[in-house]
Amino acid sequence: MTTQILVINSGSSSLKYQLVELPSGRALASGLAERIGEAVGRVSHAVGDGARHVVEQPIVDHAEALHIVLSQFAEHGPTLDVEALQGVGHRVVHGGAEFREPVLITESVLAQIEELSVLAPLHNPAHVVGIRAALQIFPGLPQVAVFDTAFFASLPPAAYTYALDAEVARDLGIRRYGFHGTSHAYVSRQVAEVLGVDLADLNQVVLHLGNGCSASAIRGGVAVETSMGMTPLEGLVMGTRSGDIDPGVVFHLARVGGLSIDEIDALLNRRSGLLGLAGDNDFRALMGARAQGDPGAALAFEVAAHRLRKYVGAYAAVLGRLDTITFTAGVGENNAAIREAALSRLECLGIELDPDANAARSSEPRVISTPDSRVTVLVVPTNEELAIAQATAELADG
Q: Are 95 and 149 in contact, with CB atoms under 8 Å apart?
A: yes
Q: Give the chain's radius of gyration (CA, Å).
A: 21
Identified catalytic residue from 49, 61, 148, 397: 148
Q: Are 102 and 146 in contact, with CB atoms under 8 Å apart?
A: yes
C-alpha span between 182 and 223 (Å, rounded) = 12
Q: Which is nearer to ligand AMP, 203 or 214 (CB)?
A: 214
Q: What angle do CA 93, 98, 104 make, to 5 degrees?
A: 70
Q: Are 128 and 15 in contact, with CB atoms under 8 Å apart?
A: no
Closest contact distance (angstroms) between CB of 337 and ligand AMP is 9
- Please name the residues in contact with 12: beta carbons below 8 A apart, sequence gap of 6 or more: 122, 125, 126, 129
Q: Are 205 and 216 in contact, with CB atoms under 8 Å apart?
A: yes
Closest residue by beta carbon to ligand AMP: 330
Closest contact distance (angstroms) between CB of 396 and ligand AMP is 27
Closest contact distance (angstroms) between CB of 210 and ligand AMP is 3
Q: Which is nearer to ligand AMP, 12 or 211 (CB)?
A: 211
Q: Which is nearer to ligand AMP, 130 or 239 (CB)?
A: 239
171 is known as an active-site residue: no
Q: Which is nearer to ligand AMP, 99 or 283 (CB)?
A: 283
The 3-class SS string of 144-194 reads EEEECCHHHHHCCHHHHCCCCCHHHHHHHCCCCCCCCHHHHHHHHHHHHHH
Neighbours of 79 (CB within 10 A): 10
Binding site for ligand AMP (CB under 6 A): 210-211, 239, 282-284, 329-331, 334-335
C-alpha distances in angstroms, 207 versus 19, 227, 308? Answer: 27, 10, 8
Closest contact distance (angstroms) between CB of 239 and ligand AMP is 6
Closest contact distance (angstroms) between CB of 181 and ligand AMP is 15
Neighbours of 140 (CB within 10 A): 6
Q: Which is nearer to ligand AMP, 334 or 370 (CB)?
A: 334
Closest contact distance (angstroms) between CB of 8 and ligand AMP is 18
C-alpha span between 354 and 358 (Å, rounded) = 6
Q: Which is nearer to ligand AMP, 59 or 297 (CB)?
A: 297
Tell me the catalytic residues.
Answer: 148
